[in-house]
Structure 1
C-alpha cells in the first residue's frame, strides 16, 4: 500500500531525530566546550558557558566573547562605552511589528509565539531562551486583548431553537436550519415564533457565548500541565536542539493547517456561491413561479414543527433524516439546558478558570527560582522542590479530570433530551476525553518548551476535529491566556525575562490584539469566509518554521558549528557568589 502523506512526514521526522541524536553524541565529547565560554561582568569577570548563568547579563556577544545587559529604548549601554549595542531602533521597529502581529495572530486563535520567538532573536537580538520568555509575556498581552472581545461575542448560530433536530450519520443531533436561502430562513423563523408548543409556552430563540467554557475548563488545565513539563525540559536543552525541535513541530503543524485551509476554502467558496445564486434566483423569480414552491415549503416546515412537538415519529428509509421522538418532559429539560448554555458570563465557570490559575501561580512562587527566590527558602536541591512540582501536576490534572467527567455527563443528558447540537459541536465521551487530553498535554509541552502559547498546535487540532473556526479560535485564545501567563511567571522566576521588556511588549500586544481582532472578526462575519482565519494561521506557522531553522543555522555558524550538550538542571550559587553579583550590579547602577 502507498504510504499516506502523514506517514511520510512522520518517517522524515524520525530520521531527523536520529540525526539530532547523533549530533548530541558528538557534543558529549565536549569538543566545543572551550570555544563556548563567555566573560561575565559579575565577580571579576568569571567565565560561563551560557550567559543565562550570568545574573543581569543575559545577552551573548559571540564576536567579543562577553555577556552584556541592555535597556529598553537605550541609545547606548553603561557596560558598553564603545557603544557596540545600541537598541533604540530595534525596539521601535519591534514594537510596530509586535503590534501588527498580535492583531493577526489573536484573530486566528493563536498567541503569536511562533512569530515572537524568531523575531525576538533576529530583530530584538535576544538570546533564544530570553526571547522565549519575552514571547510568553507578549502572548499573554495579545490573548488578554482578544479575550476582552471574545467574552462578549456570541456563537455563530445566534438563533438556536428549542426543537429537536435530525440524527446525522455520526449519531449527532443537528438542527434543521441548514442550506436555506435568506428569504426562506426569515419565513421559517416567523413560522417558528408564531407556532405553539405542547406546553403552550411562547417560542423564542436561544444563543450561547462564542467561547466554549466547558471545553476550556477541561482542556486548559491539561495544557497547563504540559507547559509545566515543557519548562522543565527546556532548562536541560541546548539552544540548537531547542530551536530545531521548535522548527520540526511548527513545520508539521503548518502543513496540517494548510491542508485544512484548502478543504475549508473550497467549502466556504461553494457555500458562498450557492447562497448568492439562491438569493439572486429568489429576487428575479419569486413573484412568478416561486410562490407555489414557497407555500409548499412553508407547509412542510409547519408540518415538521408540529411533528417535532408531538410524540409522533416519522417513518423513513433514510436513517440520517429520522425525526427524533419528543415529549413534554424532554422539551422542558431541553429548554433548561438551552437557558443554562445561553449565559454570556457563566460565573461558576469563569471562577473555576480563575481558581485554577491562582493555584498554579501560588505553587510556582513557592517553588521560586533563579529570578525570584522562594519565600519559604526552597531551592532546586531542596527535598521539597520535587514535592511542589508534583503538586503542580496534581492540581491541574485534578481540575482537568473533574471537569472532563462532568462534560461527559452533561453531554449524555443533552443527547437523551434531543438537544439541538450545532453541526460543529463535539459529542463528548470517554474516547474523546482521552484523545483531546493527550494532544492538549502535548500542546502544553510545546508551549513551555519553545515559548509559544500552544495555540499553534491546539488550534489546528480543533480544526481537524471539526470544531467551528470561530469557536476554536475564541476557546483556544482563552486557554492561551491561562497558559501563557503561567509560563511567563515560570520564566520570570527562572530569571530569563527582563522585566521592562516583558511589561512593555505585554502592553503593545494587548493593544494590537484588541484592534486587529476587532476588524478581522468583522470581515469574517460579513463574508462568512471562516477559512480566512485558517489560511492566516497556516502562513503564521510557516513563517515561524522558517525563522526557527534560520536562527539555528546562524547560531551554529557563529559557534564554529559546535553542538553543545545538555545542561545541568539545578545550579545553586553559594551565598558569597550571589552577594558579589548583587553588589557589583548595584555599583554599576550607581555609576550611571
Structure 2
C-alpha cells in the first residue's frame, strides 16, 4: 500500500503523453474498482477458509502465469517499437535529414496511433494536482471505499455467520453493482469513454462491459485471497484490454490504493495484521516507489521504450512468485514436521 500511495501522489500531476487527459484513466477506474472491492471481500473470506498450502500453490501458479504473459506482451510491444523506430529513421534518411534528425523526430513527432506515440517518447507533461484530478469520479471511488469499510466495521461487531452478519455483508453487492452499473451505462451510451484506448474506448458493447466487470471481481478475489491488493493482477489485465503501458500502470496503482487499504482493514479486523511489521514495509515501499519513479522512469524516457514498463512489471511479479512461494513452501514443511492441521478451516469460528 505504501508503494501505491507514493506512486499515485507522483502520478496525480501527470498528463497522458499523447491525449489531453490525466495519466490515470478515471472512467476505467470507476468501472473496475467497485467490482475489484467486491472481489476483495470475497477473497478475504476465502483466505480464512483455505489452508496456507492451497494459497501458496495458487499464488505460485498465478504469478508465474501472469509474469509469463506480461513478458510476452512486453516482447510484442518491443518489436512494435523497433519497427516504428526503423520506419521513422528510414523515412527521414530518405528525405535527407540524417540519423540525428530521425532520433529527434522519433521523440518529438506526432502520429495518430497512441501506442506509437508512447513508444516514441515518454516525456510526460505535468500540471497542478487540483486541475488534473477528476473530482466527480474520485468522489464515487471514495464513496465506494467508505461504504465497504463501514460494512467491515459493522460486521466486526456482529456475530460471525449470524443473520445480521450476512445481511450487512450483502450490502456490498448493491453498492458495487450500482456504481459500476452506472459507469457501464454511461460507457455504453457514449456519454463517457475510456479515453486511454482512443476510439476503441467509446460506445463499448454490453458483453465487453460485462467481461470488464467480471475480470474486476476475479482480480479482487485473487487479490483478497493472496493478500496482494489486486495491483499485480490489474496491471497485466489492463494491458490485455489494450490500455497503453503508462496508463495501465498508473490506473492499476490508483485502484490498488483502495483495494489494498480495504484488504488492510479486513485483515486487521480479523486480527491477521502485524502492525509494526506492516509499518516497516510501508516505509520501505514508499522509498522504493520514489526511486522507481525518479530513477527508473528517467531511464525509460531516455530509451524511448514504453515496453520497459511491461518488462519491469513481469520481472517484479516473477520475483514475487519465487520469494513468496519459497516462504510459503518453507512454512508448509514446518507444519508437516509438526503434524499440524492443513485442511479447510471453519469460517464461522472467526
State the TM-score, normalizing by the size of structure 1: 0.50
Contact 2:193-2:203 within 8 A present in 1 as well: no
Find the aligned partners of 1:285 and 1:516 in 2 and give their Cα distance: 34
Asked if 1:223 is matched to 2:3, the reply is no
Shift in Å, 1:282: 4.6
Structure 1 SS opposite 2:320: helix
* Greater Rg over alpha carbons, structure: 1
Find 1:389's aligned residue among 154, 163, 169: 169
State the TM-score, normalizing by the size of structure 2: 0.83
Find the aligned partners of 1:481 and 1:420 in 2 and give their Cα distance: 20
Contact 1:213-1:475 within 8 A present in 2 as well: yes
Find the aligned partners of 1:420 and 1:231 in 2 and give their Cα distance: 31
Structure 1 SS opposite 2:132: coil
1:443 corresponding residue in structure 2: 219
Shift in Å, 1:462: 1.6
2:122 corresponding residue in structure 1: none
Deviating more after overlay: 442-451 vs 459-468: 459-468
**As a proportion of its length, which structure holds more helix?**
2
Structure 2 SS opposite 1:560: helix
Find the aligned partners of 1:350 and 1:560 in 2 and give their Cα distance: 47
Cα RMSD over matched residues?
Answer: 2.6
1:546 corresponding residue in structure 2: 322
Find the aligned partners of 2:265 and 2:332 in 1 and give their Cα distance: 30
1:571 corresponding residue in structure 2: 349
1:294 corresponding residue in structure 2: none
Contact 2:193-2:202 within 8 A present in 1 as well: no
CA deviations on 1:117-142 (whole Å, 9 max, x unpaired) are xxxxxxxxxxxxxxxxxxxxxxx111
Contact 2:49-2:345 within 8 A present in 1 as well: yes
**Where do 4+ consecutive residues of structure 1 move more than 4 Å?**
279-283, 423-427
Find the aligned partners of 1:553 and 1:500 in 2 and give their Cα distance: 24
What are the equivalent positions in structure 2 for 1:18-37 lying under 5 Å apart?
none
Find the aligned partners of 1:282 and 1:150 in 2 and give their Cα distance: 39
Find 1:494's aligned residue among 266, 270, 273: 270
Contact 1:359-1:395 within 8 A present in 2 as well: yes
Equivalences, count: 317
CA deviations on 1:48-70 (whole Å, 9 max, x unpaired) are xxxxxxxxxxxxxxxxxxxxxxx
Q: Which consecutive residues of structure 2, in runs of 5 or more, have no partner in the other structure?
A: 100-130
1:268 corresponding residue in structure 2: 81
Contact 1:217-1:353 within 8 A present in 2 as well: yes
Find the aligned partners of 2:345 and 2:29 in 1 and give their Cα distance: 35
CA deviations on 1:311-359 (whole Å, 9 max, x unpaired) are xxxxxxxxxxxxxxxxxxxxxxxxxxxxxxxx62222111111111111
Distance 1:525 1:239, change over 3 A: same
Asked if 1:364 is matched to 2:177, the reply is no
What are the equivalent positions in structure 2 for 1:285-304 lying under 5 Å apart?
none
2:8 corresponding residue in structure 1: 147
Shift in Å, 1:390: 0.6
CA deviations on 1:428-460 (whole Å, 9 max, x unpaired) are 221210111111111100110001121222211
